[in-house]
Amino acid sequence: MEPLTDPFGRLHDYIRISVTDRCNLRCIYCMPAEGMQFQPQDEILSYEEITAVVEALAPLGLSKVRLTGGEPLVRKDLEQLVAMIAAIPGIDDISLTTNGLMLPAKALLLKQAGLSRVNISLDSLKQDRFSMITRGGDVAKVLKGIEAAEAAGLSPIKLNVVLMKGINDDEIKDFISLTLNSPLNVRFIEYMPIGSASDSWRQTYLPLETVVEACTAAGWETEEADMPSGNGPSQNRRVVGARGTFGLIHPVSEHFCDNCNRLRLTADGHIKACLYWADEYNVRPLVQDPAAVQALFRKALGNKPHNHEMALALEKKAQSHTPTARRMSQIGG
Ligand code: SAM
Ligand code: SF4
């Protein structure tokens, strides 16, 4: 069968599936403090429906699945979904993006069900600041989650750090220090204007050259580093002699769309071929019909623009399409 390609010849073998738009935190860059309207449970894809979508796409070359949200671990018995996806022939890599709070209870169950690895979001190592960014989170619980993921053998563990000017940019050195004696991959991510390109985003957005400058200031010599799996758009480096690595993901200042291999599925069953634009295709009514699911994904890919235009949003310039109105928690990152 024809693989999943778009008009620019990009092969799509990876899907990010949001399993819920709900979350046990309220990070300042992701969700409003109040007034978020969550999708009713009966509008969310069931585990059977999600599995049916992945089953339809696997014969077209889909091999990698990431579960995300909202917070995916607030969805009941997520390990059951992991096991259902792991049983699909052709799927060889299942990963999870999580805030880590529930990993102490879930890491082993997820590993046993077939989860390969986790990305854990952690934007500050200081409790008062972490609580401010997440609106009430406890950093000690995330650190316990990282330990639980390590103990369960979920590897490699990646830490996602959204870098924000004046909020956590003085912690770059502390985060990279975590990689000196531990095989972690710390990924610094530029703050993206998803859901709205507001002035507060422009004031807080920080290009990632800052990370390189912080290494120089710390007197660290760094070298390029290869990652065993799931390299994605991250440019990885290592402090010479360190066990772990750190990566830079700069979607805004330097988009990585040329090599985009991702599809996205929202919790309410909408295909998004690009994180940034508003275009969506509702696959939910079709999930029982694999040929129709395949056709809709091909249609979504057929209309996939070459790249997002976050850099134009930074400059307040006109864009070629309409950006999505969804918040990041409603897409999955
Ligand atoms: N709740 C999980 C978590 O926090 O890891 C998974 C969902 S969260 C939406 C996925 C990732 O998107 C997280 O690493 C989060 O930091 C990132 N994210 C959310 N909003 C963002 C934004 N505006 N810019 C850049 N990254 C963002
Ligand atoms: Fe929740 Fe993750 Fe969004 Fe934070 S980034 S509010 S943990 S979904």
Mean pLDDT of 106-119: 98
pLDDT-above-70 percentage for the chain: 98
Look at residue 231 and tell me whether its pLDDT is greater than 60.
no
| Percent of the chain clearing pLDDT 90 (strictly above) | 75
Q: What is the pLDDT of residues 182-224, one digit of tens each?
A: 999 999 999 998 887 787 888 999 888 889 888 889 999 999 9
- pLDDT exceeds 60 at position 229: no
Residue 230 has pLDDT above 60, yes or no: no
Residues marked as binding? 16, 23, 27, 29-30, 66, 70, 97, 121, 158, 192, 257, 260, 262-264, 274
> Average pLDDT in the 129-141 region?
98
CB-side exposure of 4: number of CA atoms within 13 Å?
29
HSE, CB side, 13 Å, CA atoms: give it for residue 149: 30
Which residue shows structure tokens 């990652």?
227
CATH class entry, domain 14-331: alpha beta
Predicted pLDDT of residue 196: 73
- Interval 137-177: pLDDT, tens: 999 999 999 999 999 999 999 999 999 999 999 999 999 99
Say if residue 30's pLDDT is above 80. Answer: yes
Provide the whole-model pTM: 0.96
Extract the tokens encoding 40.
Answer: 């009713």
Residue stretches of the annotated binding site for S-adenosyl-L-methionine = 29, 70, 121, 192
Mean pLDDT of 61-80: 98
Question: What is the per-residue pLDDT for 288?
Answer: 97
The residue behind tokens 């760094």 is 222
Which of 27, 120, 262 has most ligand 1 atoms within 8 Å of its beta carbon, as the pocket-test mutant? 27
Question: In angstroms, what is the span from residue 300 Cα to ligand 1's centroid?
Answer: 23
Q: How many Å lie between the centroid of ligand 2 and the Cα of residue 283? A: 25
How many other CB atoms are there within 10 angstroms of residue 28's CB atom? Answer: 18
Whole-number mean pLDDT of the chain?
93
The residues spanned by each domain of the chain are: 14-331
Which is the closest atom of ligand 1 to the Cα of 18? 7
- Is the pLDDT at 86 greater than 80, yes or no? yes
pLDDT-based confidence at residue 5 (cuts at 50, 70, 90): very high
Percent of the chain that is helix, strand, coil (3-state, to 5): 35, 20, 45
Q: Can you say whether the dihedral through the CA atoms of 162, 168, 170, 171 is positive or negative?
A: negative
Ligand 1 binding pocket (C-beta < 6 A) is: 23, 29-30, 68-69, 71, 97-99, 121, 160, 162, 189, 191-192, 194, 328-329, 332-333
Q: Counting atoms of ligand 1 from 1, which one is nearest the CA of 161? A: 16
